[in-house]
Chains A and B, each alone.
Chain A
Amino acid sequence: MEDFLYFFTFQDSSIVFVVIGITLLGLGSAYVGTYSFLDKKALLGDAISHAVLPGICLGFILAGEKNPIYIVSGAFASGALATFLTSWIRSNTKLSEDAIIASILSIFFGFGVVLLTVIQKSGNPEMAGLNQFIFGNAIAILEEDLIIYGGLAVLIIISLTLFQKEFSLLVFNPDFGKAIGYPMGLIRLLFNVLMILAVVIGIQAIGVVLMAALLITPGAAARFWTDRLGKLLIIAGLFSVISGIMGTYISFILPQMPTGPWVVVCLSFLALFSFLFAPKKGVLSRTISRRRYLHKTHRDHLLKAVHHGLEQGKKYLTIEEIYESFPYQKSKTRQSIDSLIKTGLITRNQNFIIPTEQGKSEAKRIVRLHRLWELYLNEYMNIAPDHVHDTAEKLEHILTPEMEALLEKRLNFPKLDPHQENIPRDYDDL
């Protein structure tokens, strides 16, 4: 608790720096990642993040120390080489994109590991700092690092904001962009540069192995909350920053713990939460609305049963008769009856179920939609009368009043359905 207060009250200026740093680079990676996620190139980001390792090592060897400028330039160079090779091999050989990305990823990473062991055996005391690039250690970000990483992150965020229109075009419809005269090749190049930069600054905090998560997961999670690009970027950024700060905090209280894995766990938790609980698109919400819909269809069917009773001249149905029309669904039927009573569509008098005026009208509407659709299937789609019932049974619950009007007009206000049954209207008296 003490640690928690110490960390989150930002008494320590180095913590402030680290938090600012992780916020900026989280935002930058999430922005770039969201675009590449939408572009369906999430795994290229994974390849680039593995591919910067040899560059980092080379930068280190050349500088002889953990100099951020050398390391960033080295990482950028090897990331760019990997990106270029990937697209060159794609267009010049028969290998599939998948095999190329996997090959480039593991080859570059392998070279990185070789260089890493060479450095390790050279006995350079600064070596320890280099290991942090593999799994990340945000807490080790120094002030001088921050200026470079933070600066690059700001650059990425500004470029993405300035060129939002161009990049959306790139992701959404590059051929159209080209047709209206945008230099799409140049825009793609710029985007690739930004993506490599995002990876380069992110690895300090997350590490090369897990950097892909920072590119992929925020966008994928945010996609469940909104359909609009602007909001998508904000939510993705938010997820990424929250996870970044959480990971940093854990590295702060448990110093031997690398930051990257915790950031990823936190991000994935947010993503899983989004998959399950996001309104509208989440799994739970879809299940609930499906269940609600099924209850509504059952109520509709119950009203129809009452209507069929009316058609046969019965002013009411006994509750047993209703249970019999829905075999094996007694508890569900009881629920439906209760809820129909509550909404004032039927009333119950001892054992008798009697529709109210409103209920009669609603029942007529459902039967009308059912029979209209049957007639439409029969007349416009040439379906035999004995085959139209099942589909109408489903569509009667979803047709809107607007569709109803269209159907009536198209079928010229018909009196009878294909089974020669009356299509009930509100003015019909039963």
Chain B
Amino acid sequence: MITQVDNPILEIHDLIVSYDQSPVLWNVDLSLPSGKLIGILGPNGAGKSTLIKAIMGLVTPSSGYVKVFDKTLEEVRSQISYVPQRESVDWNFPASVLDVVMMGTYGKLGLFKRPGKKEKDIALSCLDQVGMMSFVNRQISELSGGQQQRVFIARALAQEADLYLMDEPFAGVDMSTETAIFHLLKEMTAKGKTVIVVHHDIHSAMNYFDWIIMLNMHLVASGPNDQVMSEEMLRKTYGGKLNLLTKVTDLIKQKDFNPLKS
């Protein structure tokens, strides 16, 4: 059940990603429509974060390529925004909420230039959108998990991009924050932005997303929510890994090098 679209905002062509010698993503081949809220679902170790990282160029694929707006990543960096997993940074870092959100503007600012009034205004309006105005000068080490998540989303908003990739933005977040974030994402897609979210909860996914991608080391499904969300697809996604795929992965691990790299 893989639906391909014309004029996709994101096209992934036959992507294989390995860490050292073990392939973690096999043959992902999909295209995504613009202006949608898209969820990536799958069990632990299914390669969800890896897929996002490969799209963002943070891991080098063994083969295949990614095109955004029909261009390579380097050409459109400023149009893509990224929310990493909350645990990927040390929140003891000495920075205020405003400092972190302003980081989102650094990409457009360029080397050596200092952020000024304009950048500060962008950051403040983004903080307003995520409902964190009262925390502007708070140190990030003093935030709760949900607040940290909102700061990260505000930082991504400050990038003023067209495509947003978010790695588990709902992880460790309370129900009210989750709803608030979800509404924000809905508003963004209504304005024509595309938002891709790695998500772990099937039930809320059914309500949240327009389009769903299901992963389990390989691409199980990609298509509109109502077409993809079926018991069969969920069983394929969560019902254990493909036996042959794990066997081949083991075979490759035993080699002294990665034969998938060209």
Asked if A and B bind, the verdict is yes
Stretch of A45-53, A112-120, A148-156, A383-391 contacting B (4+ beta carbons < 8 Å): A383-391
Closest chain B CB from A158 CB (angstroms)? 37
Question: Is the Cβ of B14 less than 8 Å from the Cβ of A290?
Answer: no
Report the separation of the CA atoms of residues A331 and B90 in the bound assembly, to the nearest whole angstrom. Answer: 54
A-chain residues with CB within 8 Å of residue B16 when the two chains form the complex: 391
Question: Is the Cβ of A391 less than 8 Å from the Cβ of B256?
Answer: no
Question: Is the Cβ of B244 less than 8 Å from the Cβ of A290?
Answer: no
Decide yes or no whether B199 CB sits under 8 A from chain A: no
Residue of B nearest to A287 (CB): B257
Question: Is the Cβ of A383 less than 8 Å from the Cβ of B14?
Answer: yes
Question: Is the Cβ of B14 less than 8 Å from the Cβ of A403?
Answer: no
A-chain residues with CB within 8 Å of residue B243 when the two chains form the complex: 406
Question: Is the Cβ of A289 less than 8 Å from the Cβ of B256?
Answer: yes
Within 8 A of A (CB), among B1-59: 1-2, 4, 13-14, 16, 26-27, 29
Residue of B nearest to A279 (CB): B256
Report the separation of the CA atoms of residues A383 and B4 in the bound assembly, to the nearest whole angstrom. Answer: 11
Question: Is the Cβ of B92 less than 8 Å from the Cβ of A391?
Answer: no
Decide yes or no whether B161 CB sits under 8 A from chain A: no
Decide yes or no whether A427 CB sits under 8 A from chain B: no
- Please encode chain B, from 210 to 239, with 1 for each CB lying within 8 Å of some chain A CB and 0 for all others: 000000001111000000000000000000
A-chain residues with CB within 8 Å of residue B180 when the two chains form the complex: none
Question: Is the Cβ of A286 less than 8 Å from the Cβ of B90?
Answer: no
Number of B residues near A (Cβ < 8 Å) is: 31
Main secondary structure of the interface of B (DSSP, over half): mixed
Question: Is the Cβ of A286 less than 8 Å from the Cβ of B14?
Answer: no
A-chain residues with CB within 8 Å of residue B255 when the two chains form the complex: 289, 293, 398
Closest chain B CB from A376 CB (angstroms)? 7
Stretch of B76-84, B110-118, B130-138, B246-254 contacting A (4+ beta carbons < 8 Å): B246-254
Decide yes or no whether A281 CB sits under 8 A from chain B: yes
User: What bracket does the count of chain A residues touching chain B fall in?
Assistant: 20 to 34
Question: Is the Cβ of A382 less than 8 Å from the Cβ of B256?
Answer: no
Task: Using known A-B contacts A94-B141, A381-B26, A384-B29, determine if residue A293 contacts B248 with beta carbons closer than 8 Å.
Answer: no
A-chain residues with CB within 8 Å of residue B242 when the two chains form the complex: 380-381
Report the separation of the CA atoms of residues A280 and B1 in the bound assembly, to the nearest whole angstrom. Answer: 42
Residue of A nearest to B258 (CB): A290
Question: Of the candidates A280, A289, A390, A406, which one forms a contact with B244 in the assembled complex, judged by CB atoms under 8 Å apart?
Answer: A406
Decide yes or no whether A407 CB sits under 8 A from chain B: yes
Task: Using known A-B contacts A280-B256, A391-B16, determine if residue A410 contacts B244 with beta carbons closer than 8 Å.
Answer: yes
B-chain residues with CB within 8 Å of residue A382 when the two chains form the complex: 1-2, 219-221
Question: Of the candidates B14, B26, B259, which one forms a contact with A398 in the assembled complex, judged by CB atoms under 8 Å apart?
Answer: B259
Question: Is the Cβ of A387 less than 8 Å from the Cβ of B29?
Answer: yes
Task: Using known A-B contacts A382-B220, A383-B29, determine if residue A403 contacts B256 with beta carbons closer than 8 Å.
Answer: no
Task: Using known A-B contacts A281-B256, A376-B244, determine if residue A403 contacts B141 with beta carbons closer than 8 Å.
Answer: no
Main secondary structure of the interface of A (DSSP, over half): helix
Task: Using known A-B contacts A96-B90, A382-B219, A399-B248, determine if residue A387 contacts B257 with beta carbons closer than 8 Å.
Answer: no
Report the separation of the CA atoms of residues A407 and B242 in the bound assembly, to the nearest whole angstrom. Answer: 12
Question: Is the Cβ of B257 less than 8 Å from the Cβ of A290?
Answer: yes
Task: Using known A-B contacts A382-B1, A403-B244, A403-B251, determine if residue A94 contacts B92 with beta carbons closer than 8 Å.
Answer: yes
Residue of B nearest to A391 (CB): B27
Report the separation of the CA atoms of residues A382 and B221 in the bound assembly, to the nearest whole angstrom. Answer: 8
Decide yes or no whether A397 CB sits under 8 A from chain B: yes
Decide yes or no whether A285 CB sits under 8 A from chain B: yes
Report the separation of the CA atoms of residues A406 and B242 in the bound assembly, to the nearest whole angstrom. Answer: 12
Closest chain A CB from B22 CB (angstroms)? 14
Report the separation of the CA atoms of residues A380 and B236 in the bound assembly, to the nearest whole angstrom. Answer: 10
Question: Is the Cβ of A403 less than 8 Å from the Cβ of B26?
Answer: no
B-chain residues with CB within 8 Å of residue A387 when the two chains form the complex: 13-14, 27, 29
Decide yes or no whether A91 CB sits under 8 A from chain B: no
Question: Of the candidates B4, B244, B256, B260, which one forms a contact with A285 in the assembled complex, judged by CB atoms under 8 Å apart?
Answer: B256
Report the separation of the CA atoms of residues A395 and B260 in the bound assembly, to the nearest whole angstrom. Answer: 8
Report the separation of the CA atoms of residues A316 and B16 in the bound assembly, to the nearest whole angstrom. Answer: 36
B-chain residues with CB within 8 Å of residue A15 when the two chains form the complex: none
Decide yes or no whether B63 CB sits under 8 A from chain A: yes
Report the separation of the CA atoms of residues A382 and B232 in the bound assembly, to the nearest whole angstrom. Answer: 14
Within 8 A of B (CB), among A394-408: 394-395, 397-400, 403, 406-407
Task: Using known A-B contacts A96-B90, A280-B256, A286-B256, determine if residue A383 contacts B244 with beta carbons closer than 8 Å.
Answer: no
Decide yes or no whether A377 CB sits under 8 A from chain B: yes
Residue of A nearest to B1 (CB): A382
Report the separation of the CA atoms of residues A391 and B243 in the bound assembly, to the nearest whole angstrom. Answer: 18
Question: Is the Cβ of B259 less than 8 Å from the Cβ of A391?
Answer: no
Task: Using known A-B contacts A96-B90, A390-B63, A391-B14, determine if residue A406 contacts B247 with beta carbons closer than 8 Å.
Answer: yes
Task: Using known A-B contacts A96-B90, A380-B242, A391-B63, determine if residue A403 contacts B257 with beta carbons closer than 8 Å.
Answer: no
A-chain residues with CB within 8 Å of residue B27 when the two chains form the complex: 377, 381, 383, 387-388, 391
Closest chain A CB from B239 CB (angstroms)? 13
Residue of A nearest to B220 (CB): A382
Report the separation of the CA atoms of residues A382 and B248 in the bound assembly, to the nearest whole angstrom. Answer: 18
A-chain residues with CB within 8 Å of residue B218 when the two chains form the complex: 381
Report the separation of the CA atoms of residues A286 and B258 in the bound assembly, to the nearest whole angstrom. Answer: 10
Question: Is the Cβ of B257 less than 8 Å from the Cβ of A293?
Answer: yes
Report the separation of the CA atoms of residues A290 and B257 in the bound assembly, to the nearest whole angstrom. Answer: 6
Closest chain A CB from B223 CB (angstroms)? 11
Question: Is the Cβ of A403 less than 8 Å from the Cβ of B247?
Answer: yes
Residue of B nearest to A403 (CB): B247
- Please encode chain A, from 397 to 430, with 1 for each CB lying within 8 Å of some chain B CB and 0 for all others: 1111001001100100000000000000000000
Report the separation of the CA atoms of residues A378 and B183 in the bound assembly, to the nearest whole angstrom. Answer: 38
Closest chain B CB from A389 CB (angstroms)? 9
- Please encode chain A, from 363 to 384, with 1 for each CB lying within 8 Å of some chain B CB and 0 for all others: 0000000000000110011111
Interface residues of A (CB under 8 A from B): 94, 96, 280-281, 285-286, 289-290, 293, 376-377, 380-384, 387-388, 390-391, 394-395, 397-400, 403, 406-407, 410
A-B contact pairs, 6 of them (CB 8 A): A289-B256, A293-B259, A376-B244, A382-B220, A394-B259, A398-B255
Nearest 10 pairs between A and B by C-beta? A290-B257, A381-B218, A94-B92, A286-B256, A289-B256, A382-B2, A387-B14, A387-B29, A383-B27, A286-B257
List 14 additional contacts besides A376-B244, A381-B26, A381-B27; criterion CB under 8 Å: A293-B259, A382-B1, A382-B2, A382-B219, A383-B14, A384-B29, A390-B63, A391-B16, A394-B260, A395-B248, A399-B251, A403-B244, A403-B251, A406-B243
